[in-house]
Amino acid sequence: MQGVLTEEQVYLRKTVGELLKDRAARSSVLEVADRPDYDRELWTLMAQQVGLHGLAIPEAYGGAGWGPVELAVVFEEMGAVLLCAPFFASVALAANALLASGDEPMCAEYLPGIASGDRIGSLALVEGSGSWGEEGVQLSANWAGGSWQLTGRKTYVIDGCAADFLVVAARSEAGVSLFVVDAVAPGVNREPLRTLDPTRKQATVTFTNVSARLLGEEGVGWHALERTLNLAAIYLACEQVGGAARSLEIAVDYAQSRRQFNRPIGSFQAIKHKCADMLVAVELARSAALFAAGAAAESRHDVPVLASLAKAVCSESFVRCAAETIQIHGGIGFTWEHPAQLYFKRARSSEVLLGTPAYHRKLLAARGADKLPL
């Protein structure tokens, strides 16, 4: 049944959850977020001992050959601990862009490195307009001197400073095309962005006559990008579910321990209502995200519609739960020392990433909300 996890998927969730919670207990999220780098020991452990990086990568390219539902389970657990690592950039964006391109030689060259954790990729798509649509791709690609040359600037590149290579969307004479660029190639300049959410690093990347390799066919890059963005929206929605569920746990734990007038504040009707509304929001979001992941696993035609639906619903649920958690905590919820503020920042950042709820509702209207299964 779609939306219901199998025994193996439940075990996967338990394994990943225990690993990440144990790691989070030993190191403060704030400490990791303040570092320019990431936890390389955890990165290697996830990739080589647990096999998370290659979970949904085909076996032919060094992966495990599982599907979107298994990866969705992993992203939910990562969202619960606000994982500070380039997993989303490398696995959800770069790996999916490579697979969607259909370029077998390039997949064979780059995907095994992603699966093993030895190479980190990211997707450079958004430019100064802030658009996630095809019209926003204006970075120029020209054939000169026997190679492709890229010139322009990309911004909001997830983990752009940590990436070893970038999948870049650029516009050639034939239309939007995809290119692979070495992150340290001559002419590439990467600058970290100061963002609201310190747990998810972003960068501005400037390209000045940078030599690039064409990924797939020229002029058809947007078709691959659409599939990539749909899958990434589903995985981000699952990550938001994990953050929302953890926010609810933090709020309930505090409501049970904090006492006023000789009784836990959780016994007050106003707090009960807040927690109940948060629980409804979490379960609604989880259903939408898992249903979309199940549709992606079956390669259904309505994946684009369900991806936009999940992204819109989960974005709003996470923001609501994170904000209510701060309200339940009162003054302490606003302090830098308390994790509630980090969940709120991640919620606001994720709400905009890959497009706002309003943007995805417009996509729903364009794609045909009447195609949604009842």
Residue 262 and residue 252: Cα distance in Å, rounded?
18
> Between 1.20.1260.10, 3.40.50.300, 1.10.10.10, 1.20.140.10, what CATH number should domain 222-368 receive?
1.20.140.10
Task: Evaluate if residue 209 carries a pLDDT over 80.
Answer: yes
How high does pLDDT run on average in the chain?
Answer: 91
Higher pLDDT, 121 or 2: 121
Domain span(s) for CATH 1.20.140.10 in the chain: 222-368
295 HSE (CA, 13 A, CB side): 24
Mean pLDDT of 14-39: 75
pTM equals 0.94
CA distance 303 to 275: 32
CATH 2.40.110.10 intervals, the chain: 122-219
d(C-alpha 344, C-alpha 363), whole Å: 26
Residue 132 has pLDDT above 70, yes or no: yes
Q: Flag whether pLDDT at 369 surpasses 60.
A: no
**Fold of the 122-219 domain:** Butyryl-CoA Dehydrogenase, subunit A; domain 2 (2.40.110)
* Mean pLDDT value of segment 305-310: 96
User: Quick one: how far is CA 163 from the chain centroid?
Assistant: 15
pLDDT of 374: 47
Q: Where in the chain is the domain with CATH 1.10.540.10?
A: 7-119
Share of the chain above pLDDT 70, in %: 94
Q: 356 or 271, which is more confident?
A: 356
pLDDT band at 261 (very low <50, low <70, confident <90, very high): confident
Q: Which pLDDT belongs to residue 1?
A: 47
Q: CA 361, CA 341: separation in Å to the nearest integer?
A: 28
- Torsion 139-348-305-54 (CA) sign: positive
Query: Does position 35 have pLDDT exceeding 80, yes or no?
Result: no
What's the CATH number for 7-119? Answer: 1.10.540.10
